Structures are given as C-alpha cells and as structure tokens.
Amino acid sequence: MHDPHHDPVDGDIVAPPPKIPVPEHVAEAIRTLIRWTGDDPDREGLLDTPQRVARAWKEYCAGYGEDPSHHLSRVFEEVGGYDEIVLLKDIPFQSHCEHHMAPITGKASIAYLPRNHVVGISKLARVLHAFARRLQVQERLTAEVADCIWNHLHPQGVAVVIEAQHGCMTGRGVRTPGVGMVTSRMMGVFREDERSRAEVLKLMGY
C-alpha cells in the first residue's frame, strides 16, 4: 500500500506540512457566518469547520504572497533562431470573484512573440496562477497576466484569452449554469497587425 508521506528516493518518512495557526477572531468570524446562515457552529460536524475554511482561504489567496514577475526572471537566449509564436493553450485555473467570493473556474491561453529570448513554458502558467490566487474579476486577471509578460519579457506581442464560468452567476442570482465569459488582451503586434492577431487566435482555437 502506497504511503503518501514516504519518500521513495531516500526511504525517509516525510512529515505532512504543519497546519498554519488560525487566529481566533478569524475562526469566530466564520462561526458567525455559520450562525447567520441558520446552522449551529457547535454541532459535531461543524466544530472544525472554521479552522478548515480559514486554512482553505489562505490557500485560495496564496497569490498575495507571491510576485508573479519572479517567474519571468530567468530567460533563455539560445533558441536556434526561433522567432515564431510561443503558445501555452487551455491552462486550467481557479480563482474567486471579489464581489461574492464565489469560484471562478476556467482556462486560459497565453501567447507571446519573442524578440530575442524566451522563458520556460511552465512559467506562463505560474504567472497565471499567481494572479488567479487572489480575489479577482476576470477582466483584471486577463490584463494583469498580459501586462506582466509584456513588461518583463519585452516581446513583440502578447495575447491572453481567458474563458471561465462564475459561481456568482451559476450558483446564485440568475442561476444560469453552462454560460462562459470570454475576455482577451492583445498587445504589440497582436493588437496592431490584423493577420498576426488572426493567427494567434486560430492557434488558440478561437
């Protein structure tokens, strides 16, 4: 039977990460919310819920403690003369709406046209997740990802397209599931040149 805390490399037992302490005023705020919704925070099934919820939100919003541009600090100039579009397509992500703190779940496609260097492809996803793990609106998330790549890689062009569903619309209010919101930001040649924009959107599947 596989032990998730057993390191197969050196045989040592790896302890689970310590749980972060939850300040009492944070736990009490969650208990207050539970009472307000009509339940009893002192019943057995809810006794540990305030701590679980607090730690979950610390994880959901981990992006506040992260500098997204750090992921773009290491670049590679030896690319064999490659000067075409670099695209990371359909990156899944989850964020939370700043208006209702409801989930935003979707996918993003991020492309750039290098000028004289590239970045490790996984770093584009890391930039997305660093911004997504904050309270967000989709329009700002789209702009922040594009601006970060533009300002730190200095490419010829950047294109970001995000498609997502919003829990504040599917689970409350108009309660309309299956509706996706699409936002985009084009910079440099992808904004100025119609053919370049059409090419990158076709590669993304739009």
In this prediction, residue 169 has a pLDDT band, given cuts at 50, 70 and 90, of: confident
> What are the CA-CA distances from residue 40 to residues 32, 37, 43, 54, 119 (Å)?
10, 9, 6, 18, 51
Query: Can you give the pLDDT at residue 11?
Result: 53
Q: What is the DSSP string of 9-24?
A: TT-PBPPPPPPPP--H
SS3 of residue 149 by DSSP: helix
Banded model confidence at residue 124, pLDDT cuts 50, 70, 90 = very high
**How much is the pLDDT for 12?**
61
The confidence score (pLDDT) of residue 175 equals: 73
What's the pLDDT at 18? 78
Find all residues with CB under 8 Å of 143, minimum gap 6, and list them: 185
- Strand 75-76 relative to strand 157-166, pairing: unpaired
Model confidence over 179-202: pLDDT tens digits?
889 999 999 999 999 999 999 999
Distance CA 76, CA 55 (A): 37
Q: What is the pLDDT of residue 205?
A: 96
| Closest-CA residue to 127 (of 113, 115, 141, 116) | 141
**What are 1-52's pLDDT values in tens digits?**
555 455 455 556 777 667 889 999 999 999 999 999 999 999 999 999 999 9
Q: Do the strands 118-119 and 103-113 form a parallel or antiparallel pair, or are they unpaired?
A: unpaired
Q: Which residues are annotated as a binding site?
A: 97, 100, 168
Average pLDDT, the chain: 91
How large a percentage of the chain has pLDDT more than 70? 91
Residue 137: its pLDDT value, please?
A: 97
Q: By C-alpha distance, which of 140, 153, 139, 148 is closest to 86?
A: 153
CA distance 133 to 147: 17
Detail the residues annotated as belonging to a binding site for Zn(2+): 97, 100, 168
DSSP 16: P
Q: Are strands 86-97 and 135-136 parallel, antiparallel or unpaired?
A: parallel
The answer to whether 189 and 196 have CB atoms below 8 angstroms apart is yes
Q: Which domains does the chain have, with CATH numbers?
A: 22-60 (1.10.286.10), 75-202 (3.30.1130.10)
